[in-house]
Amino acid sequence: MTLQRKRLYAAATVLVQAGLLAACDRTAEIPTPAPTATAGPTVPQVAAPKGPSRLILAFGDSLYAGYGLDRGQSIPDAIQTRLRQAGVNATIVNAGVSGDTSAAGRQRFVFALDNLPRKPDLVLIGLGGNDVLRQIGPAETRANMTAMLDELKTRNIPAMLTGMMAPPNLGADYTRDFNVIWPDLASRYHATLYPFILDGVIGDTRLMQADRVHPNPDGVAKIAERLAPMVKAALPTLAPSS
């Protein structure tokens, strides 16, 4: 096992242990406690720069929704700010819903796409954390993720996956079958992949909220610093909006 994968496994273990401690049962969803505002600066609003507009849909669970954070502090907000600071005229529509499993996301995916003002240039999909906490079978998670990517392929919309990982203590079979979903699908659908959305943040109390599951504003900033360049790199290949 590579050092990087060992580090990701360790981080995933912290995520699951934190979620299970917060929930005290195997039917837990992210999040289980009532949301509370987290102290910290709101992501500064940056005016859209000149140039072709880019519409991005951020579709995920509480990690996208900004659970426990003030309005404007979510990961999609932070990415949008960084893209605009880099000269990309991007607007990110945040369709994160706290507690969503991949199945719940699949049920509302078409609705979210159909209710955008126009066809998006890119869709970010960030689901799977609640599947791990509920120990949903990897085959079901894979089927749900595949259905959403099939929908994007039909509409000729590129995707970027922010992945999730299962820890070794859920068993070798579960871990193997779950963790391979995101790299497999990224390869199959030619999607950009960030293997584990909480990499470098989970387990660091300076970057996490008190529930140990969701990032605080500083954690969001670190995640966005890594994701924004990847999003920017995916956009130049897209045809400018008419």
List, by residue number, the catalytic residues.
Answer: 62, 211, 214
C-alpha to C-alpha distance for 184 and 142, rounded to whole angstroms: 10
Question: How many alpha carbons lie under 13 Å from residue 195 in its C-beta half-sphere?
Answer: 17
- Which DSSP symbol is given to 34? P
b/e 2-18 (16+ beta carbons within 10 angstroms → b): eeeeeebbebbbbbbeb
Of 230, 216, 213, 185, the closest CA to residue 82 belongs to: 230
Contacts of 58 (CB under 8 A, 6+ apart): 64, 75, 76, 79, 92, 93, 94, 95, 96, 124, 126
Which tokens is 177 given? 């079958």
E strand residue ranges, 140-209: 159-162, 192-194
> CA-CA distances (angstroms) from residue 124 to 16, 149, 169, 207?
23, 11, 29, 22
C-alpha to C-alpha distance for 231 and 38, rounded to whole angstroms: 26
User: Cα Rg for the chain, rounded, in angstroms?
Assistant: 17
